[in-house]
Amino acid sequence: MQITNQSAGQGNWDTGYEWKAISLLATGFALVGIDRMVISPLFPVIQKDLNLTYQDIGNISAALALAWGLTSLFVGRVSDRIGRRKVLIPAVIAYSLLGGLTGLATSVGMLLVIRALLGVAEGAYAPLSNVAAIEASHPSRRVRNLGFVLFGYTLLSMAFGPIIATQLLDFLPSWRWVFILVALPGFIVAWLLYRVLRDTQGSLATHESNPQVTAQRLPWTQILRYRNIRLNLVAVFCMMTCLFVVAAMMPNYLTDHVKLSVQQMGFVMSGFGFGACAGYLFMPALSDRFGRKPTVLAGFLGTLISLWMLLQSGEPAQLFFWMFVVACFVAAMSSNLVAPITVESVPASLSGTAAGVVNGVGEIVGGALAPVGAGFVADHYGIQQAFTVALIASGLGFLISLFFIETAPSRTRLKSGVEARQAELMAREEP
């Protein structure tokens, strides 16, 4: 079923379909999280079984992230042409199959290939599931619903994923069965998406607040003519730098510099997972009510302040609190930047393309290169200085976000052709 236009009025909105679609997309994204992250707590066991080096472990993780980012750059354009269903459903089947095949790997080479292909499948699903969630949502619930989708990912990958993986080891004969078992729900989700998800190629309802909407097909390079997209490429890089530098470097900072025990470090780091979950539940509602721009600004400023406060703390309880707060503010940024601002800033026919490019650039640059830079700083100047990278990224992201054009439907009500044209000229540079 092709959606081309649908009234955004509450009375005409298919709320039943909205909640079915959001629930399935959230479940699919949660499975992406556990497929991606379940390998980390199993690495000590896998390392002994396959004789992996630390370099091998780093390469395996990097292969998935790089493939994820590269795929995101291009898959959005494909979905804009053929529809979301034809990409999302095969992606769910593929990442479920490849997640299970991870358990059959017998060498580092096989793991590299399988995890890289898994990154391709997950990189296809991740940005498009966000776009599909926005297209299925009533304008007053877009970011709240997207927060629910991201909440599921965070809950399984960061909060319960390590617990699930390690506890299953006590009941299964080998680490290999863990991957096979966690892959099975994906096939059920794929079947349910086939039954429920409607096909969209940039629903005009998604852009009812955006006067630049057009039904014509445009070259993908057109996304760079929109000011919000150019700004967002930098803002998402800054956000992902904060996220991945903290996630990668904080455990060593807590044990090597603060001198916490491993158990205390685990307690503090759990604050990041639970804080992100809380942020995805509550922060999106602020965006839908008060606007995308002020929420993102508060996210960057809050991250800057709370991360600085965390670095001044030494007691586990204080560290847990500030870690929780940091994650809440990072969630405020990611729930707005990755999809809502991107999708609402371009014509409907370019929404998937824009989301894919923004997500891909952020994943490659912020997810892969920023931790490398932080590691270089840590090796040469001390682990405590690694977070200077994240602090600078927070400040830069705040400055960049000052120039965003508001896109939230609740805050953008353009009623005349003159106002619409003025907004278009602000958001787009004419050739």
Question: Do 236 and 92 share a structural domain?
Answer: no
The one-letter amino acid code at 391 reads: L
Question: Do 140 and 223 share a structural domain?
Answer: no
Question: Do 243 and 161 share a structural domain?
Answer: no
* Statement: the pTM of the whole predicted model exceeds 0.85: no
| Amino acid 302: pLDDT | 96
Q: Which of 201, 233, 257 is the last residue of a domain?
A: 201
| Amino acid 420: pLDDT | 47
Task: Confirm whether 3 is domain-assigned.
Answer: no
Q: Which of 201, 224, 240 is the last residue of a domain?
A: 201
| Amino acid 151: pLDDT | 83
Question: Do 218 and 75 share a structural domain?
Answer: no
Task: Confirm whether 4 is domain-assigned.
Answer: no
Question: Do 319 and 178 share a structural domain?
Answer: no
Render pLDDT for 149-200 as a digit per residue (tens, 0 to 9).
888 888 877 777 767 777 788 888 888 999 999 899 999 999 999 999 987 6
Question: Do 290 and 164 share a structural domain?
Answer: no
Task: Confirm whether 108 is domain-assigned.
Answer: yes
| Amino acid 219: pLDDT | 67
d(CA 57, CA 33): 18
* Bridge partners, residue 88, by sequence: none
The contacts of residue 308 (CB under 8 Å, 6+ apart) are 391
Q: Which of 201, 225, 251 is the last residue of a domain?
A: 201
CB atoms within 10 A of CB 218: 15
Domain hosting residue 359, numbered range: 209-426
- Angle, vertex CA 334, rays to CA 224 and CA 405, nearest 5: 45
Closest CA to 358 of 204, 234, 212: 234
Closest CA to 66 of 104, 31, 118: 118
Domain count, the chain: 2
| Amino acid 138: pLDDT | 85
Give the number of C-alpha atoms closer than 13 A to the C-alpha of residue 34, restricted to the C-beta side. Answer: 29
d(CA 263, CA 181): 28
d(CA 88, CA 197): 10
d(CA 282, CA 274): 12
| Amino acid 220: pLDDT | 66
Domain of residue 257, CATH code:
1.20.1250.20
- 36, 253, 254, 255, 374 from 259: Cα distances, Å: 29, 8, 6, 5, 20
Task: Confirm whether 290 is domain-assigned.
Answer: yes
- Classified as helix, coil or strand, 51 is coil
| Amino acid 363: pLDDT | 77
Task: Confirm whether 120 is domain-assigned.
Answer: yes
Task: Confirm whether 348 is domain-assigned.
Answer: yes
| Amino acid 390: pLDDT | 92
Question: Do 29 and 145 share a structural domain?
Answer: yes
Question: Do 82 and 111 share a structural domain?
Answer: yes
Question: Do 230 and 353 share a structural domain?
Answer: yes
Question: Do 195 and 52 share a structural domain?
Answer: yes
The one-letter amino acid code at 278 reads: A
Residues with pLDDT less than 70, the chain: 1-11, 54-55, 58, 162, 200-220, 262, 367-368, 412-431
Task: Confirm whether 2 is domain-assigned.
Answer: no
Task: Confirm whether 8 is domain-assigned.
Answer: no
| Amino acid 424: pLDDT | 52
| Amino acid 215: pLDDT | 40
Question: Do 231 and 122 share a structural domain?
Answer: no
Question: Do 256 and 151 share a structural domain?
Answer: no
